[in-house]
A and B are shown apart, each in its own frame.
Chain A
Amino acid sequence: GAGVSQSPSNKVTEKGKDVELRCDPISGHTALYWYRQSLGQGLEFLIYFQGNSAPDKSGLPSDRFSAERTGGSVSTLTIQRTQQEDSAVYLCASSLVDEQYFGPGTRLTVT
């Protein structure tokens, strides 16, 4: 079956603009996660959705970052007033229980 998909694969934006990143999880997976990976670094947790529960937003670096998950499926990560330090690969993952499966990521470059 289809894996996790993300769009766009690459996004270049000017400092101060807003961006939206999209994630389509594996069908049937109840949990969805966003992570950020800076160049040459490990993955940093951002936010986690599980079913209809309130999301765990403990990893969001600032209030410029927000995410929503509509209908328990697709999720959008929004970054407002982008800064150069937001440049990174944003990875989405989904799971049924413990094993998380990742999408290919969106490479965001803020100029």
Chain B
Amino acid sequence: GQQLNQSPQSMFIQEGEDVSMNCTSSSIFNTWLWYKQDPGEGPVLLIALYKAGELTSNGRLTAQFGITRKDSFLNISASIPSDVGIYFCAGHLTGTASKLTFGTGTRLQVTL
């Protein structure tokens, strides 16, 4: 099935650094969602975006819905060890307000 292109695939950063990851699609999306998944757990919703150009924050996390509706980014500021995990973007395609299409994931590892 179709997946969104998410980059980077993985990243190693030091505690305190800022992190940026993004997602691109060849199709227009109505909604972008960002999830975090810890080992052995289901994805946990971090941020939801509903409008092109929208910028939304949740604590140290900030996400934006691209103007073209074909991309989104997630920033994490001042990373801490518990930020470790896999981050997925997901979206609803235009006309299909049901199933989510998921990105390939960004694996984040934070070193002390």
Contact = CB atoms under 8 A, between A and B. Distances in A.
Interface of A: 4, 31, 33, 35, 41-45, 48, 50, 56, 58-59, 91, 93, 97-105
B44 A42 contact: no
Interface stretch (B13-21, B58-66, B67-75, B94-102): B94-102
Interface string B71-112: 000000000000000001010100001111111110000000
B50 A59 contact: no
Classify chain B's interface size.
20 to 34
A99 B46 CA distance: 10
Nearest to A92: B42
A98 B50 contact: yes
A48 B99 contact: yes
A84 to B, nearest CB: 20
Contacts of B53: none
A50 B99 CA distance: 11
Contact of A102 (B42, B99, B101, B103): B42
A33 B33 CA distance: 16
A100 B42 contact: no
A37 to B, nearest CB: 9
B43 A43 contact: yes
A56 B42 contact: no
